[in-house]
């Protein structure tokens, strides 16, 4: 079988493994205060274009989302999210386990608008019994979204502007940040991200690392005591330097951006060829996740050789799946997949 | 001003105050193990038609919902509720504060169906990544609902049947239980309630008591150690006998049912007269809460003398409000309100 | 049986019941924004000698402690308390249920010292792995303590001074505040309390009310959004005016102070007579709780007519109990108890 | 500097890195259901001598402790632990963050006794106000303890016997399990561990792995739905096979036991030599952690070349430190350290 189901089928980019081997017998202090972590922080500050940000390394996405959100909210506050947001549907209630409600907004493509956010906040504070409902205390968006879509720079600016108007932090889940920045139709850079939100993370797990997410805190008020939160939430890796080494490798020479672009190129090749064959798609995505709709009979046929991620039934005999490429997807596999889909007729 | 905004504008039914005064200088043990509480338990078991139920007394509705739900769920489970359910919208995230997600189902009138519940549970367990989403672990319904509507006996039986099929407790929020049982179109008795769910509560606060809710546990598995939960959640009143005395008074001679019926009668009088005047209503209610739609100009006029609860704008110049009667609503005030609405033209 | 076990055996001071009856059919808004609550707030501000404090009414002690502490702490912070503090031993882990550790300090008499608090905080921040331990974020003391002892004004000043030095709120649990202020050896007034901590509460349940605790917030930073916390923790009584009416009654004409003094007088009469008979005591208390040590045979004899609270075995055939008086203790019962103890020989 | 501060200064045992490199481009499903994890489970069942246990892989120790404990306890229960237990002192209140109190027992050497556990549980259930205190719902011990000490087989059997008597799960924190099994004075095997508790974990992080802990559930009742807990607590690694591969490597040919023994040998060499030089020790340890007491002047001298972990001041000019060896400690460094200590005179 050839896997196109997600972007974490393989281990790590070989360069990362190489550096882990090279540094293996170095002795360092634990818990993220070693020279590799320090160096990785320096590099990340540089590629973000901001010397004033705090950088912390955590292990995985659910852990990172939970730690960040729990650190920002007061007990009676909730976090605004698209109904399809990862925190709302695929984290087994991790946010709620910290005591906070996810305040979900309708969304057809994974995105939410500045207008909808503002309307929600206004409605809350206009309520006479304001204390009887959860106070919106934070906004969560994912870039790219769980549907492969991305925000434009102007959309993101508008959202951030609403957040600043109400003094509510904006948090960007960047589990696939590189793929969003590499989107063919996108106009957002890492520096833009770092200047248009209060806290975000750069996903490593899905873009070349064995594991690891780099949280970047841009808002001074959110920096204080964040390491306590990491420790309490189980995210403070004893051998913290493993995270430092991986992020050093990813950002030293632009590797992160290169492999992100490669993944997106493969995905768009598949998308464009399928479009030409007449396939339609559930979402308009320019990133590494594509959501084509198959006749069930064709899907059964192609699934003998490839795995995709089931997404949803769209009619009695049609199904949308997610095809996912990654830093590890080979051009050979991409070409073969396209040929095999063509052969379905 | 005359208040028709909610059903807790006054103190308690005079008979309750009288008994509190009569028993005031008795010395009893605290925390709900006194003779009055024991007697109230006995009476409630009798009116429920079940000798085998456990009965506990708590102070208020949010506290009761939170205590019950937190006592039933495992950490990774959530509670299914109508999107309009009190726990989902008006308790400042109290359920989430105990670590659990409210799994909301769409509802236009406050009710949810056995079919929708079953579909939700089936979808969860059919998911390949089942552990990535919150497991439905409980069903919450309110009787009557927050929109004044009620379940029929057959609807409730179907819901309970689904719950038993999946071994998931059914919890009925009975903050206004008496008004639901007194509903003109209803076919559900207190004994039915006690045999068609695993745990429910009989609301006192909104039906004649100063405060107090009586939790009735019918499912053996949910009885164990419930007093620990009450204490931890702040619901174990030091002078617990105050609750026992109130529920003794309410259920000794059917007072609870009588005053509930009175309230519903007043509400239906208003409803029927307004229907005759051509008013339409947001929900079809046969209980003490009515949701007529006013022209804004008429609403402004009538609001000089009466308070209602704003519910929602239904068009540019029309607004739905809640008119609420209670055990304390006088026929005089009801008649006057009807006359004054008629006078609006 | 005559109860000397605790200070909540009876209902309420008759004056309170009278006012509840007198106001019973008034219509007011719910949730603590009615005229009685407003008036009670005004009176409490006055007796506290501070116009700038916020006053909120909750139902019971565990609920109040939990709400206050959860509102002050960040997720990784804990609250410093005497090991014998009510929150550490008798609230079924209510504080921990909100996610926070109780950081207990040794204490032989229920009190903790400024020195011990400072040492604990200093040790925490001196630790190299500071983030691996719970950060002390608040100090909790009870006045009087669970052992009937009280802080002197200078002791309290020193504690508050440490708290201010580290910018950590000081919270005083005043479940029995009146009895502490009435202590024969005490030099602390309600105005002192209001100026020597950041937040405290005036207990009603144990001093004349049916139930109810008045939280007074003196620190500006702790005031924000406190009503959300009350609602979420189940403490926002629908018929909030019941609390307002009770505190109006207690503080309008000094009733609270009068009945507190009465209780302490009864307790000291018992203490002094027992001392004269040669009894020793577990703690040196000048308040309404006394902890005499009985020979077990004498205890068995006296317990045929009176109930006390078992405290602890002190040797093979000696037991310490708590004798508790209250606003409701009659001089007749006090005299009879003394006579009956004398008769034990 | 040469580090003897902890057992996680280096990366991983070279064999582990080799296997990670060898398998790097394999495509597998995520979240621990891949062939490597399945194989590792099979191997672990075998070395535990039990076919009926469930095995799960998590990332780190705090996360594992929190997940296990939160999965076992009801909301009103706490976990019994030595006061020095890792969960009680060094996890930033992670257990409390899930709502549970740590019920700490006194301990001078890190161990607790069956007798003390039984006494605690008995005292709880004998209390008249049983529901006012946290119910002991679980026992936590670490093997070896945080002080390097270990339980004998008979001590462990007695503890487990108490737990079974009260139907309370026994959980063994095995962050350093291998070092405990390799203890020179120990009589406990991995098979003993697997038959004398309800749930335990085999620590990888501190014994050769990059990271990773293998939870073994022996009690049928604790197995259900554990994967939901892992996901919610952020422990379900996307590339779960990284954990499977590491544990395959550690247990395939006894590597885990070999490197544990090596570490203990180095530690005991240091201990025995220091004893001969007249040093005394804070705890009697036969494992890889040793706690010698230095004159402060000598400690300052030796600390120019080596790092130890500060443990505590024992007198005005004497300090106890922890010297920690690991799988990675070389004989050369051990010999050099001994020589250098000798040279202090």
Average pLDDT over residues B77-103: 98
Residue D285 bridge partners (DSSP): none
Q: Does D210 have pLDDT greater than 90?
A: yes
Read off the pLDDT of residues C268-278 as tens digits, 9 standing for 90 and up: 999 999 999 99
Q: Does A294 have pLDDT greater than 90?
A: yes
Q: Count CB pairs under 8 A between chains A and D.
A: 146
Share of chain D above pLDDT 70, in %: 100
CB contact under 8 A, C231 and B59: no
The answer to whether the Cα torsion of B246, B252, B257, B259 is positive or negative is negative
C-alpha span between C246 and B20 (Å, rounded) = 15
Contacts of B75 in chain A (CB under 8 A): 97
Q: Does B38 have pLDDT greater than 90?
A: yes
Nearest residue to B139 (alpha-carbon basis) of B191, B63, B200, B67: B200
Instruction: Pick the residue from chain D with its C-alpha nearest to B29.
Output: D129
Interface probe with C: pick from D87, D93, D135, D322, most Cβ of C within 10 Å: D93
User: Where are the strands (E) in B106-258, listed by range?
Assistant: 135-142, 170-173, 199-203, 213-217
Q: How far apart are the first and last CA of chain D?
A: 21
Read off the pLDDT of residues B288-321 as tens digits, 9 standing for 90 and up: 999 999 999 999 999 999 999 999 999 999 999 9
Structure tokens at A244: 């430092």
CB contact under 8 A, A76 and C135: no
Q: State the DSSP code for A314.
A: E
Kindly report the backbone phi and psi dihedral angles of residue B153, in degrees, each rounded to the nearest multiple of 5, phi listed first: -60, -35
Contacts of A59 in chain D (CB under 8 A): 59-60, 234, 237
Instruction: Output the pLDDT for position D126.
Output: 95
Tell me the Ramachandran region of residue A284: left when phi exceeds 0, alpha when psi lies from -120 to 50, beta otherwise.
beta
CB contact under 8 A, A24 and D8: no
Longest Cα–Cα distance in chain D: 63
Geometric angle at alpha carbon C69, from C63 and C71, rounded to 5°: 100
User: Does B144 sit behind a cis peptide bond, omega within 30 degrees of 0 on the bond before it?
Assistant: yes
**What is the CB-side half-sphere exposure of residue B270 using CA atoms within 13 A?**
32
3-class DSSP state for residue D16?
A: helix
CB contact under 8 A, B90 and A131: no
CA distance D224 to chain A (A): 15
CB contact under 8 A, B234 and C63: yes
The answer to whether the beta carbons of residues D136 and D102 sit under 8 Å apart is no
C-alpha span between C122 and C120 (Å, rounded) = 5
Q: State the DSSP code for D72.
A: H
Average pLDDT over residues B159-177: 98
- This complex has an ipTM of 0.97
**Under 8 Å CB-to-CB from A101, ≥6 apart: which residues?**
A78, A79, A134, B93, B96, B102
Instruction: Output the pLDDT for position B248.
Output: 98
Gyration radius from chain A CA atoms: 20
Kindly report the backbone phi and psi dihedral angles of residue A301, in degrees, each rounded to the nearest multiple of 5, phi listed first: -65, -50
Interface probe with D: pick from B30, B68, B75, B166, most Cβ of D within 10 Å: B75
Contacts of D229 in chain B (CB under 8 A): 75-76
Burial status of residue D183 (CB atoms within 10 A of its CB: 0-12, 13-18, 19 or more)? buried
Pairing of strands B102-105, B77-82: parallel
Instruction: Output the pLDDT for position C128.
Output: 87
Q: How many other C-beta atoms are found inside a 10 Å radius of the C-beta of residue A339?
A: 10
pLDDT band at A193 (very low <50, low <70, confident <90, very high): very high
Query: What is the number of residues in chain A?
Result: 345
Read off the pLDDT of residues A53-104 as tens digits, 9 standing for 90 and up: 999 999 999 999 999 999 999 999 999 999 999 999 999 999 999 999 999 9
What pTM did the predictor assign? 0.97
CB contact under 8 A, D134 and C90: no
Structure tokens at D237: 């690694």
Burial status of residue C201 (CB atoms within 10 A of its CB: 0-12, 13-18, 19 or more)? buried
Kindly report the backbone phi and psi dihedral angles of residue D142, in degrees, each rounded to the nearest multiple of 5, phi listed first: -115, 140
Residue B136 bridge partners (DSSP): B78
Query: What is the number of residues in chain B?
Result: 345
Q: State the DSSP code for C134.
A: P
Q: Which H or E element spans position A26?
A: none
CA distance C130 to chain D (A): 9
Instruction: Output the pLDDT for position C345.
Output: 87
pLDDT band at A345 (very low <50, low <70, confident <90, very high): confident
C-alpha span between D110 and C294 (Å, rounded) = 38
Structure tokens at A307: 């795995």
CA distance B27 to chain C (A): 5
Q: Which string of b and e fits B75-95 if b means at least 16 CB within 10 Å?
A: bbbbbbbbebbbbbbbbbbbb
Kindly report the backbone phi and psi dihedral angles of residue C247, in degrees, each rounded to the nearest multiple of 5, phi listed first: -75, -30
Read off the pLDDT of residues C68-120 as tens digits, 9 standing for 90 and up: 999 999 999 999 999 999 999 999 999 999 999 999 999 999 999 999 999 99
Collect all residues from A whose CB is shorter than 8 A from any CB in B.
75-76, 78, 89-93, 96-102, 128-129, 131-135, 310
The packing angle between helices C241-252 and C14-22, to 10°, is 130
pLDDT band at B128 (very low <50, low <70, confident <90, very high): confident
The answer to whether the beta carbons of residues A46 and A327 sit under 8 Å apart is no
CB contact under 8 A, B71 and D75: yes
Read off the pLDDT of residues A235-279 as tens digits, 9 standing for 90 and up: 999 999 999 999 999 999 999 999 999 999 999 999 999 999 999
The answer to whether the Cα torsion of A110, A116, A117, A123 is positive or negative is negative
Instruction: Output the pLDDT for position D178.
Output: 98
The answer to whether the beta carbons of residues A77 and C229 sit under 8 Å apart is no
CB contact under 8 A, D228 and B31: no
pLDDT band at B345 (very low <50, low <70, confident <90, very high): confident
Instruction: Output the pLDDT for position C306.
Output: 98
| Matching residue, tokens 């024992």 | D314
Instruction: Pick the residue from chain A with its C-alpha nearest to D32.
Output: A9
CB contact under 8 A, B310 and A99: no
| Matching residue, tokens 């006029």 | B301
Instruction: Output the pLDDT for position A256.
Output: 98
Query: What is the number of residues in chain D?
Result: 345
C232: nearest CB among B5, B29, B97 = B97
CB contact under 8 A, B135 and D228: yes
Residue B267, CA distances (Å) to B183, B272, B288, B327, C331 in order: 10, 9, 5, 11, 53
Geometric angle at alpha carbon C267, from C261 and C268, rounded to 5°: 85
Instruction: Output the pLDDT for position D299.
Output: 98
Residue D128 bridge partners (DSSP): none
Burial status of residue D144 (CB atoms within 10 A of its CB: 0-12, 13-18, 19 or more)? buried
**Domains contained in chain A, CATH given:** 2-7+256-342 (3.90.1150.10), 14-254 (3.40.640.10)
Kindly report the backbone phi and psi dihedral angles of residue B118, in degrees, each rounded to the nearest multiple of 5, phi listed first: -60, -45
Q: Which H or E element spans position C335?
A: helix C331-344
Average pLDDT over residues D99-105: 98
pLDDT band at D220 (very low <50, low <70, confident <90, very high): very high
D93: nearest CB among C76, C128, C310 = C76
Q: State the DSSP code for D134.
A: P
In whole numbers, what is the pLDDT of chain C averaged over residues?
Answer: 97
Collect all residues from A whose CB is shorter than 8 A from any CB in C.
31, 70-71, 74-76, 98-99, 129, 131-132, 135, 225, 227-232, 236
B131: nearest CB among D99, D131, D228 = D228
C-alpha span between B114 and B136 (Å, rounded) = 14
Average pLDDT over residues D41-57: 98
Pairing of strands C77-82, C102-105: parallel
CB contact under 8 A, C94 and B232: yes
Query: What is the number of residues in chain C?
Result: 345
Q: Does D124 have pLDDT greater than 90?
A: yes
Q: How many other C-beta atoms are found inside a 10 Å radius of the C-beta of residue A253?
A: 11
Q: Does D128 have pLDDT greater than 90?
A: no
pLDDT mean values, one per 10 residues, chain C (345 residues):
96 98 97 98 98 98 98 98 98 98 97 98 95 98 98 98 98 98 96 98 98 98 98 97 98 97 98 98 98 98 97 96 97 98 95
Residue D183 bridge partners (DSSP): none
Contacts of B132 in chain D (CB under 8 A): 231
Nearest residue to B90 (alpha-carbon basis) of A101, A37, A263: A101
CA distance A320 to chain D (A): 20
Binding partners of B (≥3 Cβ pairs within 8 A):
A, C, D
């Amino acid at each position: 079988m050839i896997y196109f189901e997600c972007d974490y089928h393989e281990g790590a980019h070989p360069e990362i493994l190489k550096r882990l081997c090279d540094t293996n017998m170095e002795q360092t202090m634990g818990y993220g205060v070693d020279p590799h972590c320090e160096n990785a922080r320096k590099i990340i500050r540089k590629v973000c274009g901001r010397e004033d940000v705090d950088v912390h390394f955590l292990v995985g996405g659910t852990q990172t989302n939970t730690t960040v959100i729990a650190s920002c909210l007061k007990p009676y506050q909730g976090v605004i999210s698209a109904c399809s947001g990862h925190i709302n549907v695929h984290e087994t209630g991790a946010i709620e386990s910290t005591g906070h409600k996810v305040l979900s907004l309708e969304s057809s493509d994974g995105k939410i608008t500045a207008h909808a956010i503002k309307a929600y906040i206004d409605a809350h504070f206009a309520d006479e019994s304001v204390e009887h409902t959860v106070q919106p205390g934070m906004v969560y968006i994912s870039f790219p979204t769980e549907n492969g879509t991305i925000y434009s720079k102007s959309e993101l600016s508008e959202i951030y502007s609403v957040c600043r108007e109400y003094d509510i932090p904006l948090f960007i889940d960047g589990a696939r940040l590189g793929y969003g920045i590499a989107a063919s139709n996108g106009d957002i850079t890492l520096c833009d991200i770092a200047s248009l939100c209060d806290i975000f993370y750069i996903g490593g797990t899905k873009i070349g690392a064995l594991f690891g997410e780099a949280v970047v805190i841009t808002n001074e008020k959110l920096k204080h005591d964040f390491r306590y939160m990491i420790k309490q939430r189980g995210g403070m890796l004893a051998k913290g330097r493993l995270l430092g080494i991986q992020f050093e490798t990813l950002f030293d020479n632009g590797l992160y951006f290169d492999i992100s672009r490669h993944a997106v190129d493969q995905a768009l090749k598949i998308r464009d060829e399928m479009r030409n064959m007449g396939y339609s798609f559930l979402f308009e995505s320019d990133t590494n996740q594509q959501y084509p709709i198959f006749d069930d009979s064709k899907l059964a046929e192609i699934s003998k050789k490839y795995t995709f991620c089931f997404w949803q039934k769209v009619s009695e005999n049609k199904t949308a799946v997610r095809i996912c490429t990654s830093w590890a997807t080979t051009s050979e596999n991409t070409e073969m997949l396209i040929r095999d889909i063509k052969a379905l007729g």
